Amino acid sequence: MKKDIHPTYYPDAKVVCACGNTFTVGSTKKEIKVEICYACHPAYTGKEKLIDTAGRVEKFKAKREKAAKVTTRKKSEKRAAKKVKKEKK
């Protein structure tokens, strides 16, 4: 077997998150920079972060409000309206 072909292992490698959280893990790099970690990831924290792109959230909420305002007719009312429409022809 060849000697010295494996990278150096650092058992106390420092991980730095964009949120400011730091912790140590074992790695082949001394320092690792990440954008998201367990302290700020929505799946672990339970906090939802909505990133609004071009008003999509407001657009969705407006659709939901509009759908809630629509009145629905009962089956008997639909049949009566259909019957009246048929009689006019």
For 19-68, how does the pLDDT look when each residue is reduced to its tens digit (9 = 90+)? 999 999 999 999 999 999 988 888 778 777 666 667 788 888 889 888 88
What confidence tier does 1 reach under pLDDT thresholds 50, 70, 90?
Answer: low
Number of structural domains, the chain?
A: 1
Q: Would residue 5 count as lying in a domain?
A: no
Give the three-class secondary structure for 85.
helix
Give the three-class secondary structure for 33.
strand
**CATH for 29:** 4.10.80.400
For 41-51, how does the pLDDT look when each residue is reduced to its tens digit (9 = 90+)? 887 787 776 66
What is the model's pTM? 0.47
Q: Would residue 30 count as lying in a domain?
A: yes
The Cα–Cα gap between 37 and 51 comes to 18
Look at residue 81 in the predicted model and tell me its pLDDT. Answer: 86
Residue/partner pairs of 28-35 with CB below 8 Å, 24 or more apart: none
**Which residues constitute the domain of residue 46?**
10-88
